[in-house]
């Protein structure tokens, strides 16, 4: 299903809607428009050959980059209700200009132009032949024409899905053959593979009686191989690196990277996983820098930071074959790149057995740092288990004068995973992880089943089955506080078991449940409803803001939900209300379940009692700016220190760019984690917050920009 275009009347313009990704964007015109569908052709991305950068697009429509669907309409002005970067191309893919932040530009000549508009949640292009001007207001980007002009508007969904399934036996050598085919999903082996839109989803893997791979899976010929002993743990550790490099994984007596036959040994077993991840981060950052020699020639912050000390010719590296380029990268000290790389988006801890292989393509698709968790008693493990471990964990993160939470009855299954520096943490092993996302292969496969369009409007149901927590049911107002999106919000109180069952079985985009639960079910006015007694659920995502809700949340995921937020122990009402309000606003702002929970934990010392189950990347809506941002703000003697923290999503994964719209900045940055800190005057903080509503950590306290009063300092 391709993006659709719908005229709007108040204000006049067009709404672009990608129903698969639940992404919407509006652009406004000076009067009503009558869009006419036009043909787009098909796009297949870049060639894998470094010297053949050919986009197969329909130049007849005037677009420089691929689009899925398009319309034409007449107007004199287009207003994009956001500050966005605009790249101006010619149809032959020549980049002729870029504007950002408060910059203006005029293109006075008649000609063919394709304007690539970076809204994050989908790809938009405007193809025009008339002269035009780009300028900006405080919170909008305006494209205007001297007279009525015909505009062709094209949209491309950022949705990706695996194209094939590989069958393997439990022989680890079959697993190696499967991972060697992951690189078939890459749309290029040039440094542009660091762009998320040029990394396709790896093929699925299932277990069977014999190895079988479709002939359509064509692994790239990169000259790169990774040799490891035939061990499931080692295979999982190298899977993301092998995918990104387009490498063949083959058995060997010693762990080594092999480039055109030249061996580069990895460290011994104790440091192998860390070395693999360090290499991936090193190569990825260098790809992001070197790609600026190609299609997108932009002055990226990271290039400016490391280019003086690289010691390699960036243009030559861009043109080099994959193995030769990687060899050049190995000549750059890791100490040069390590301080400047993005915070890695996700770490996945996985048990080293073939039963986890079906989940592997999904975490590899997110470029996860894959660590191996071995729960055997005779092996070293940083993970803690059982009631004592989790109680210690909660105590270490709680205020000493607060009553300690009661751990759930199944606490022997609770695991405290090793710490990670990644933004998100996924657990693909036995046990209930505190502070991480418990996921299974079936949970990720449900993501594919959720490719059916979300309901339109977005349906949110708030159920309050606990009168003592009525203070939280006002979150219903939060979910409607978004431009572009239409919401159908209902609030239900004190439901019976049959009424709650009806809600759980109906089509709901997000369920916010307030009340009481335990392992036996949801407490209702006439008894308990156990979600395990349901055959199926229509709830796509949920927050079960109640004590010990993990078992019921797991049951919903097993019956069709994509994912949700649950608790692993008792919670007090005050903490629950604060967490509930924070999560509601964060999800409404486009944060994923995992990212939203990560930020919401700042509102209470007991935030680690909340965990995600299922697919933690699920979003209720897409972020207005494409990628959700957390702002960290601190007053100084003279001004404010404003820091941006980016949370990648399924539509803005690692490798995307963001330009912080602070005064004087026109530099794009890589998008994950701490982006940068800017010294800004009081009026500039106010101006920044005029762009939209942001979650703000102000002097360590989580609040929102529309609740802050910015006062003069000094």
Q: What is the rounded average pLDDT of the residues 302-308?
A: 96
Closest to 84 measured CA to CA, from 124, 140, 37: 140
Buried b or exposed e, range 394-432, using 16+ CB within 10 angstroms: beebbeeeeeebebbeebebbbbbeebebbbbbbbbebb
Residue 690, Cβ density class (10 Å: 0-12 exposed, 13-18 middle, ≥19 buried): exposed
CATH 3.40.50.1460 region(s) of the chain? 439-614
At 486 the pLDDT is 64
Closest to 626 measured CA to CA, from 85, 68, 28: 85
Conformation bin of residue 521: beta by default, left when phi > 0, alpha when psi is -120 to 50: left
| Helix H or strand E segment including 408 | none
Q: What is the rounded average pLDDT of the residues 393-422?
A: 57
Measured CA to CA, the distance from residue 562 to residue 542 in angstroms comes to: 9
Between 398 and 667, the more confident residue is: 667
Q: What is the rounded average pLDDT of the residues 338-356?
A: 96
Q: What is the rounded average pLDDT of the residues 417-426?
A: 92
Is it the case that residue 683 has pLDDT exceeding 70? Answer: yes
| Helix H or strand E segment including 698 | strand 695-698
At 172 the pLDDT is 98
Contact predicate 267/216, CB 8 Å: no
The CATH architecture one would assign to domain 439-614 is 3-Layer(aba) Sandwich (3.40)
What is the value of pTM for the model shown? 0.86
Render pLDDT for 59-85 as a digit per residue (tens, 0 to 9): 567 898 888 899 999 999 999 988 888
At 561 the pLDDT is 94
Phi, psi of 237 (to 5 degrees): -60, -35
Q: What is the rounded average pLDDT of the residues 122-151?
A: 92
Point out the least confidently predicted range of 188-197, 312-321, 459-468, 518-527. 459-468
Q: Give just the sign of the alpha carbon dihedral 626, 628, 632, 633.
A: positive
Strands 113-118 and 86-89: antiparallel
Between 361 and 294, the more confident residue is: 361
Strands 132-136 and 123-128: unpaired
Strands 437-438 and 424-428: parallel
């Amino acid at each position: 299903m391709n993006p659709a275009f719908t005229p709007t009347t108040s204000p006049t313009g067009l709404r672009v809607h990608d129903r698969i990704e639940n992404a919407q964007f509006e652009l406004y015109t000076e009067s009503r428009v009558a869009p006419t569908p036009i043909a787009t052709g098909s796009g297949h991305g870049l060639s894998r050959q470094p010297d053949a950068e050919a986009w197969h697009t329909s130049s007849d429509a005037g677009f420089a980059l691929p689009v899925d669907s398009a319309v034409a309409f007449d107007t004199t002005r287009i207003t994009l209700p956001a500050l966005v970067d605009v790249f101006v191309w010619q149809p032959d893919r020549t980049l002729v200009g870029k504007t950002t932040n408060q910059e203006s530009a005029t293109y006075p000549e008649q000609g063919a132009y394709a304007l690539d508009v970076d809204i994050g949640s989908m790809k938009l292009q405007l193809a025009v032949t008339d002269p035009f001007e780009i300028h900006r207001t405080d919170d909008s980007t305006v494209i205007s024409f001297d007279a009525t002009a015909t505009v062709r508007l094209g949209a491309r969904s950022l949705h990706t899905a695996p194209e094939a399934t590989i069958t393997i036996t439990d022989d680890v050598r079959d697993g190696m053959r499967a991972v060697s085919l992951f690189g078939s999903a890459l749309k290029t082996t040039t440094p542009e593979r660091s762009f998320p839109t040029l990394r396709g989803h790896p093929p699925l893997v299932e277990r069977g009686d014999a190895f079988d791979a479709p002939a359509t899976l064509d692994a790239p010929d990169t000259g790169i191989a990774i040799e490891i002993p035939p061990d499931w743990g080692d295979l999982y550790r190298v899977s993301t690196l092998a995918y990104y490099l387009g490498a063949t994984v083959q058995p060997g007596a010693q762990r080594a990277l092999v480039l055109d036959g030249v061996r580069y040994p990895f460290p011994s077993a104790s440091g192998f996983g860390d070395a693999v991840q360090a290499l991936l981060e090193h190569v990825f950052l260098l790809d992001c820098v070197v790609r600026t020699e190609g299609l997108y020639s932009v002055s990226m912050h990271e290039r400016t930071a490391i280019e003086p000390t690289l010691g390699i010719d960036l243009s030559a590296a861009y043109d080099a074959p994959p193995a030769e380029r990687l060899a050049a990268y190995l000549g750059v000290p890791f100490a040069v790149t390590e301080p400047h790389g993005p915070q890695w988006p996700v770490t996945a801890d996985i048990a080293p057995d073939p039963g986890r292989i079906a989940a592997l393509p999904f975490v590899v698709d997110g470029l996860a740092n894959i660590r191996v968790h071995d729960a055997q008693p005779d092996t070293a493990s940083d993970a803690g288990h059982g009631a004592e471990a989790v109680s210690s964990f909660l105590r270490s993160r709680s205020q000493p004068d607060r009553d300690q939470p009661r751990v759930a009855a199944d606490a022997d299954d609770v695991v405290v995973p090793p710490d990670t520096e990644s933004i998100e943490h996924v657990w693909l092993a036995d046990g209930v992880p505190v502070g991480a996302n418990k996921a299974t292969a079936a949970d990720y496969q449900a993501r594919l089943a959720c490719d059916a369009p979300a309901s339109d409007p977005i349906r949110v149901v708030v159920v309050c089955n606990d009168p003592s927590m009525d203070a939280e049911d006002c979150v219903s107002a939060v979910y409607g506080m978004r431009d572009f999106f239409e919401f159908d919000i209902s609030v239900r109180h004190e439901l019976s078991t049959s009424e709650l069952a009806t809600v759980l079985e109906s089509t709901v985009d997000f369920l916010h449940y307030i009340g009481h639960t335990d392992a036996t079910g949801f407490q209702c006015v006439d008894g308990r409803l156990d979600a395990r007694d349901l055959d199926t659920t229509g709830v796509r995502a949920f927050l079960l803001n109640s004590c010990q809700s993990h078992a019921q949340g797991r049951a919903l995921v097993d019956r069709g939900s994509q994912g949700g937020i649950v608790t692993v122990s008792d919670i007090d009402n005050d903490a629950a209300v604060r967490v509930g309000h924070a999560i509601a606003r964060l999800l409404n702002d486009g944060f994923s379940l995992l990212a939203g929970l990560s930020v919401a934990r700042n509102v209470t010392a007991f935030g680690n009692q909340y965990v995600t189950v299922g697919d933690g990347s699920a979003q209720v809506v897409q972020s207005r700016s494409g990628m959700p941002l957390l702002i960290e703000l601190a007053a100084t003697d003279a001004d404010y220190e404003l820091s941006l923290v980016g949370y990648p999503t399924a539509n803005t994964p690692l490798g995307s760019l963001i330009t912080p719209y602070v005064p004087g900045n026109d530099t794009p940055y890589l998008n994950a984690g701490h982006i940068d800190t800017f010294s800004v005057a009081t009026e500039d903080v106010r101006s920044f917050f005029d762009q939209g509503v942001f979650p703000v950590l102000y002097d360590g306290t989580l609040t929102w920009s529309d609740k802050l009063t910015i006062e003069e300092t000094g």
